[in-house]
């Protein structure tokens, strides 16, 4: 028998999705950041997934970007997971878990077996969610970063985070 998740279409983000992932203005300030990820997908660096249901539109997203090794938590190229969210009305229905599985398959297809993400230290619920799905905290990060917002202004944000990592088991590497 089919489940609710069968009605969700998970596909790569395209350029016309960019307004929708601003989520009715809540994330408008990240417009250029998202466009950069979209450009990265054209260049093969990023893999931005969106989850969509018919007549409603996009209800979730997760972006992956391939990164070079990092001295603290990856001795080989890894995938960095970002902008992961499911719209509130559709949470706790398994979509987030499914999107994480899609990320693991994406990494595996690229012969990459490490996924890293930043989880806000104010967000204990998502830390538990990631731990349940096999991620472990590898570092604390002060979370300082800057970007150019939708009006062209430089913005600085501080979001103290746990850096979390998952090593995918299907690989022979450890
Ligand atoms: C984290 C998130 C993507 C999970 O998606 P989801 O579709 O709800 O995930 P699932 O249904 O597969 O799993 C639900 C689990 O996520 C947990 N969860 C984490 N953050 C949550 C939130 N803000 N609201 C509801 N559930 C949340 C639930 O407690 C649940 O765990 P449980 O099964 O032990 O009760 C989603 O809750 C979300 O968008 N949260 C807000 C944005 C966010 O925090 N993103 C992560 C940034 S680091």
Q: For residue 174, tell me if it sits in a domain.
A: no
Q: Count structural domains, the chain.
A: 1
Calculate mean pLDDT across residues 122-128.
95
What CATH number is associated with residue 82?
3.40.630.30
Q: Does the CB atom of residue 48 touch ligand 1 within 6 A?
A: no
Pocket test for ligand 1, best of 58, 92, 115 (most atoms within 8 A of CB): 92
Which of 59, 129, 160 is the pocket-test mutation for ligand 1 (most atoms within 8 Å of CB)?
129
* Per-residue three-class SS string for the chain: CCCHHHHCEEEECCHHHCCHHHCCCCCHHHHHHHHHHHHHHHCCCEEEEEEEECCCEEEEEEEEEEECCECCCECCCEEEEEEEEECHHHCCCCHHHHHHHHHHHHHHHCCCCEEEEEEECCCHHHHHHHHHCCCEEEEEECCEEEEECCCCCEEEEECCEEEEEEECCCCCCC
Instruction: Provide the residue range defining the domain that includes 63.
Output: 4-167
Would you say the CB of residue 143 lies under 6 angstroms from ligand 1?
no
* Within a domain: 172: no
pLDDT in tens, 48-99: 999 999 999 999 999 999 999 999 999 999 999 999 999 999 999 999 999 9
The pLDDT, as a whole number, for residue 1 is 67
pTM over 0.85: yes
Q: Which of 32-46, 112-126, 137-151, 157-171 has the lowest mean pLDDT?
A: 157-171
When pLDDT is averaged across residues 3-26 and rounded to a whole number, the result is 95
Is 173 a member of any domain? no
- Locate the ligand 1 atom nearest the alpha carbon of residue 95 and give its number: 7
């Amino acid at each position: 028998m089919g489940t609710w998740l069968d009605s969700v279409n998970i596909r790569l983000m395209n350029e016309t999705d960019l307004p929708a992932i601003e989520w009715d203005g809540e994330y408008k300030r990240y417009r250029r950041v998202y466009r950069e990820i979209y450009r990265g997908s054209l260049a093969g660096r990023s893999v931005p997934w969106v989850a969509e249901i018919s007549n409603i539109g996009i209800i979730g997203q997760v972006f992956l970007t391939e990164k070079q090794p990092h001295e603290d938590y990856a001795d080989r190229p890894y995938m960095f997971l970002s902008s992961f969210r499911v719209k509130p009305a559709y949470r706790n229905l398994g979509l987030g878990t499914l999107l994480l599985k899609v990320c693991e398959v994406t990494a595996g297809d690229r012969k990459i077996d490490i996924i890293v993400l930043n989880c806000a230290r104010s967000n204990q619920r998502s830390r538990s969610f990631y731990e349940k799905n096999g991620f472990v905290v590898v570092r604390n990060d002060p979370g300082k970063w800057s970007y150019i917002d939708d009006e062209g202004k430089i913005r600085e944000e501080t979001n103290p985070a746990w850096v979390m990592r998952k090593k995918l088991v299907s690989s022979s590497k450890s």
